[in-house]
């Protein structure tokens, strides 16, 4: 099965309120626009599934809304069926964004804010994960995920917000059990 999706969006922001230096709220009088376009492709070849997505986004004022220009996402997995009782997915996820000025975070007010003299950039770094999901009779989902497997291979610390590094390699295990009515 082949699925292809393309789309776009233009958001008009009037009287936008943002948080500037020291997380001080400021409302601007002019209009801002955020433009977005995306291409998404899903492919299924037998037991192999893949999803690829590329997103382009642009703000008319990067001093107020600063976002990565491109975002890439890829997921691939193999689906294995066992007697219509167990469905197993074994795969990988990859995420990447182009570099952009990172926002700051003020934990005392719980708010992200933009600092004009900030020159620190984030992005331009891939994040990879390996996962296994087991669905039993469509009601119990068991999952194991090894997140950020490439931690420390390219650079020691990676930040998504100034002074707040993302987690290093992390092993997650979980269960989701849906009870029928």
- pLDDT at site 121: 82
Rounded to 5, what percent of the chain is helix, strand, coil?
0, 60, 40
CATH number for the domain that contains residue 93: 2.40.170.20
Question: Two tokens at 11?
Answer: 């958001």
Mind listing the pLDDT tens digit for each residue in 120-177?
788 888 999 999 999 998 889 999 999 999 888 876 667 777 777 888 889 999 999 9
CA distances from 156 to 24, 70, 93, 103, 150 (A): 32, 23, 21, 20, 10
- Burial (Cβ within 10 Å: 0-12, 13-18, ≥19) of residue 57: buried
Give me 173's structure tokens: 């295990």
Give pLDDT, residue 157. Answer: 67
- Enumerate residues 6+ apart whose C-beta is below 8 A from 158: 122, 125, 127, 151, 165, 166
Give me the phi and psi of 131, to 5 degrees please.
-140, 160
Quickly list DSSP for 113-125: E--TT---EE---
Range scoring the smallest mean pLDDT among 25-34, 78-87, 108-117, 163-172: 108-117
Q: Could you tell me the residue range of the domain that residue 116 belongs to?
A: 2-177
In the chain, the number of structural domains is 1
Identify the pLDDT of residue 80: 95
At residue 32, the pLDDT reads 93
Q: What is the DSSP letter of 63?
A: T
**What percent of the chain has pLDDT above 70?**
96
| Tens digits of residue pLDDT in 23-52 | 888 999 999 999 999 999 999 999 999 999
d(CA 124, CA 93): 16
Task: Give the integer Cα–Cα distance in Å for 161 and 121.
Answer: 9
**pLDDT (mean) for 96-108:** 87
Tell me what the pLDDT averaged over the chain comes to: 89
Q: What is the pLDDT of residue 152?
A: 80
Contact 160, 124 (CB under 8 A): no
């Amino acid at each position: 099965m082949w699925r292809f999706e393309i789309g776009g969006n233009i958001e008009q922001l009037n009287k936008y309120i943002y948080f500037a230096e020291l997380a001080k709220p400021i409302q601007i009088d002019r209009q801002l626009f955020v433009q977005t376009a995306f291409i998404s492709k899903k492919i299924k070849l037998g037991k192999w599934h893949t999803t690829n997505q590329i997103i382009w986004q642009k703000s008319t004022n990067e001093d107020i809304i600063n976002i990565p220009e491109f975002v890439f996402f890829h997921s691939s997995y193999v689906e294995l069926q066992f007697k219509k009782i167990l469905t197993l997915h074994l795969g990988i996820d990859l995420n990447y964004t182009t570099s952009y000025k990172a926002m700051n975070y003020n934990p005392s007010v719980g708010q992200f804010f933009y600092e004009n003299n900030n020159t620190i950039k984030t992005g331009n770094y891939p994040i990879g994960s390996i996962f296994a999901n087991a669905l039993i009779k469509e009601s119990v989902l068991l999952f194991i995920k090894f997140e950020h497997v490439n931690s420390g291979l390219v650079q020691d610390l990676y930040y998504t917000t100034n002074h707040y590094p993302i987690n290093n390699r992390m092993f997650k295990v979980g269960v989701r059990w849906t009870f029928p009515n």
